[in-house]
Amino acid sequence: GAVVSQHPSWVICKSGTSVKIECRSLDFQATTMFWYRQFPKQSLMLMATSNEGSKATYEQGVEKDKFLINHASLTLSTLTVTSAHPEDSSFYICSARNKDHTTSGGYEQYFGPGTRLTVT
């Protein structure tokens, strides 16, 4: 089955530093990857859509310069939280769309296990 991994699974960093989170599709090629953020007891909020080889499309209200997304290959996308602050502490989940697997007219989408970021 399609597997999406994230690394690290959890990270603690100091305020002002930058943190990079990796999202990999392990056994399929993903032309599109999505990044979500989830605060405790809340739903997943889509942050951005990233397409391989092009700039990411950010949702309204998400700071492009703070959340840098790079989708350098068909199996890897990275999210860098720059100059992290305590309010950036959250659960970050990536999702990858399998370009070769469609269902009901749309591409199948698989979720990673998430990365818990704590900024102290």
Partner 1 sequence: SQQGEEDPQALSIQEGENATMNCSYKTSINNLQWYRQNSGRGLVHLILIRSNEREKHSGRLRVTLDTSKKSSSLLITASRAADTASYFCATRTLIYNQGGKLIFGQGTELSVKP
- Interface residues with partner 1 (CB under 8 A)? 34, 36, 41-46, 49, 57, 59-60, 91, 93, 95, 103-107, 109, 111-114, 116
Angle at 111 between CA 67 and CA 97, to 5 degrees: 85
* 82/109 with CB nearer partner 1: 109
| In the complex, minimum distance from the CB of residue 64 to partner 1, in angstroms, rounded to a whole number | 16
| In the complex, minimum distance from the CB of residue 74 to partner 1, in angstroms, rounded to a whole number | 18
| In the complex, minimum distance from the CB of residue 43 to partner 1, in angstroms, rounded to a whole number | 5
* 42/120 with CB nearer partner 1: 42
* 59/63 with CB nearer partner 1: 59
Phi and psi at residue 87, to the nearest 5°: -70, -10
3-state secondary structure 4-38: EEEECCEEEECCCCCEEEEEEECCCCEEEEEEEEE
Would you say 48 and 59 are in contact if contact means Cβ atoms under 8 Å apart?
Answer: yes
Would you say 33 and 110 are in contact if contact means Cβ atoms under 8 Å apart?
Answer: no
* 10/83 with CB nearer partner 1: 10
| In the complex, minimum distance from the CB of residue 12 to partner 1, in angstroms, rounded to a whole number | 15
Would you say 50 and 69 are in contact if contact means Cβ atoms under 8 Å apart?
Answer: yes
